[in-house]
Chains A and B, each alone.
Chain A
């Protein structure tokens, strides 16, 4: 039972354009959502988060959108840079419980 799903295993974008990574979830008890970025041979690193009381959170080039009615989360990166090429994991958790991760999306930003 995959409660957090990233349906696109990979995404390729041109430098300077927008990258949109998507994530769907099924558990209505999830109230905190995060995005992690992972480079090869390194552990995942925290990127940005959003709680269920918000529908948008922005940090520099990164914006996370939450659509609770659709149980959908997206990460926008604009403008995309070659250094953004990495695997991106979305994750979600109910209050007081543990994180559940999606499968990951490999983003490639071409110069």
Chain B
């Protein structure tokens, strides 16, 4: 079974609709992240959470909101979807930094979103 799961895997929606992308993890990690991938732009951070009571904006948070319902669950919402939010969305998790160096992030399989 996958350690980081995302639902749905594919979604088509219309401009102005509210949608939610969900992420669950069984790795027991405290830290969770939402990224979007666009061609030629790599992965850009939308929001991240270091524990259940912690929510932080990333590089491109405008138009998005998140909810950390539990240690294992982190949802991304588009309150009113627009076409330039068409992208591939990834959830990731990590444990606390082990000290010298940094933590490794583990990614879900992605959600492909098309906003018409």
A residues near B (Cβ < 8 Å) are: 4, 6, 9, 32, 34, 36, 41-46, 49, 51, 53, 89, 91, 93, 95-96, 98-104
Q: Are A98 and B45 also in contact (CB < 8 A) when A49-B101, A49-B104, A53-B100 are?
A: yes
**Chain B residues with Cβ under 8 A from A44's Cβ?**
43, 90, 107
Interface readout for B15-50 with A: 1 if CB under 8 Å, 0 if not? 000000000000000000101000011111100100
* Tally of contact residues, B, Cβ under 8 A: 24
CB neighbours of B48 from chain A (8 A): 98
Q: Is the CB of B105 within 8 A of A32?
A: no
Select A101's contact among B42, B101, B110, beta carbons within 8 Å. B42
> Is A43 in contact with B90, judged by CB distance below 8 angstroms?
yes
* Chain A CB within 10 A, most for which of B43, B48, B90, B106: B43
Inter-chain contact A34/B42, CB cutoff 8 Å: no
| Cβ–Cβ contact A51 & B90, under 8 A | no
CB atoms of B42 and A103 under 8 A apart:
yes
**Interface contact B109-A42, CB-CB below 8 Å:** yes
Q: What residues on A are CB-neighbors of B109 within 8 Å?
A: 41-43
| B58 adjacent to chain A (CB < 8 Å) | yes
